[in-house]
A and B are shown apart, each in its own frame.
Chain A
Amino acid sequence: MKKLVFSALTALTLISSAHAQQVVRIGTLADYAPFEYKDASGKLQGMEIEIGNKMCAAMKVTCQWVTMDFDALIPALKARQIDAVLAQMSRTAEREKSVDFSRIFTTAPVHLVAKKGSGISNQPATLRGKTVGVQTASTHESYFRNRLPTSSSGINVKVYQSLDSAWLDLESGRIQAVFADSTVAHDWLSKGGQKAGFALAGQAISDDAIFGAGTAIAVRKGDSQLKAQFDQAIVGVHKDGYFQAVNKRYFPFSILPQ
């Protein structure tokens, strides 16, 4: 009798697992509009969520979105709390020491944002004595840490858990500039930042070694199967025009990698 029940249960689990889809837990942010953010009803929305869901459908996997702070993403990936990271994370040589990345997903030029007429531009001299806000564990933070350390440049850097807190402090005058991706900067400016008297300051800053070629999806080191699946899915949305269509709805400029 016991043997019968046991074999029936095993058969059941085997059958169910054969039909069960692979579950991929994707780590992302909850406060990084317009790429990923939670609306008033707590639903995760945004450009990367939309495209991410489309890619998961194409990959025939069930995706579970898990939100956390940016600096917790890679530790969570390594600790197996999540299987992938899709949070506008730039593919840099530094990060590739700890995780594997898919092919480039979006481009992410970076810019300073400051009050109009404050005289701040991408020239380091204009920032001397001022405070710049950056997101924790971001390439923007390492740019200042490696290229313009406070001791030599006189630029104070305030590190925030979430970029949204940095925007709040910029508006209230606690910091004089925010250094972030042009995309989120554009979004913040269009949703009230411009009205409050802020604008993009100076030229876009480029530094391939620090900022990498663009953003990509991160997976655990050695997880080549998942990486290949994401690579294929990214090629899919880039080629069939879905990416461009969603891009157009969020930004007046394209962030499709060349």
Chain B
Amino acid sequence: MDQLALLLSQSWPVLLDGLWISLQLLLLSCVLGFALAVPLAVARSSPRRWIALPSRLFMSAFRGTPLLVQIFILYYGLAQFEWVRDSALWLLVGDAFPCALLALTLNLAAYMAEDIRGGILGVPAGEKEAATAFGMSRLMVTWYIVVPRAIGISAPTLGNEIVLQLKSTALASTITVLDLTGVARRLSIESYTTDALLLAGLLYIVIAAVLSLLTRYGEARLNRHQLR
């Protein structure tokens, strides 16, 4: 225990830096992932095959392969091609942090889209019918009725995804991003012990617990107009 305390007192600046990077990856990927997930889910639920198919393929690809493989493909795989290095895409995958963020965002979007799709299926048909009866176009029905309702229904699952995403950010350390896990590994290698890793684990648990509370509060507020 005292070894952990000693480690904390010596290395807390770098650990804090690493933690900040992890939190940045988490927050940005959640916001961007959610923004991408909504149109993906709507497209996936569309009755028109030419809209639904690309969305299906995207979701199958990103949910059916490990995040680590996705990270390696984006970071090392794309760098193999000259045309990628010369294009605007390089701004995204050239540096380790944006590349990790991209992988985390795309991955999360696929999972969130599946959850929101479940929510879309759960929207009561009566509400959609009422909206159409009022003369709303299909687009208006989708934007004003279906999407908000679906997000409300899938809120608990989405909150869960956010807490899980914290754990996924740890994989950014595999492409030299110095997040909390990356810093902990460096410290662990220098000292030949696993104390730094255990400390990092403790920090992750604390953050996950805080996130759990925040997301549950968020869900309650989102659905506060629902009769329980």
Contact = CB atoms under 8 A, between A and B. Distances in A.
B192 A75 contact: yes
Interface residues of B, number: 12
A159 interface: yes
B217 interface: no
Given A159-B186, A160-B176, A174-B95, A78 B192 contact: yes
Contacts of A172: 79-80, 85
A151 B76 CA distance: 29
Given A169-B79, A172-B85, A174-B94, A159 B176 contact: yes
A159 B173 CA distance: 11
> Secondary structure of the B side of the interface?
helix
A98 B85 CA distance: 43
Nearest to B173: A161
A13 B79 CA distance: 56
B193 to A, nearest CB: 9
A158 interface: yes
Given A159-B176, A160-B176, A168 B189 contact: no
Contacts of B174: 161
B192 A98 contact: yes
B87 to A, nearest CB: 13
Contacts of A98: 192
A163 interface: no
Nearest to A173: B85
Contacts of B76: 165, 168
Contacts of B85: 172-173
A74 interface: yes
Contacts of A159: 176, 186
Interface in A116-170: 136-137, 158-161, 165, 168-169
Contacts of A165: 76
A71 interface: yes
Contacts of A137: 189
Given A168-B76, A174-B94, A158 B176 contact: yes
Interface in B70-125: 76, 79-80, 85, 94-96
Nearest to A142: B190
A221 to B, nearest CB: 12
A172 B80 CA distance: 7
A141 to B, nearest CB: 9
Contacts of B96: 158, 174
Contacts of A74: 192
Contact of A168 (B79, B95, B192): B79
Interface of B: 76, 79-80, 85, 94-96, 174, 176, 186, 189, 192
23 contacts: A71-B189, A74-B192, A75-B192, A78-B192, A98-B192, A136-B189, A158-B96, A158-B176, A159-B176, A159-B186, A160-B176, A161-B174, A165-B76, A168-B76, A172-B79, A172-B80, A172-B85, A173-B85, A173-B94, A174-B79, A174-B94, A174-B95, A174-B96
Given A161-B174, A165-B76, A173-B85, 6 more contacts: A158-B96, A158-B176, A159-B176, A168-B79, A174-B79, A174-B96
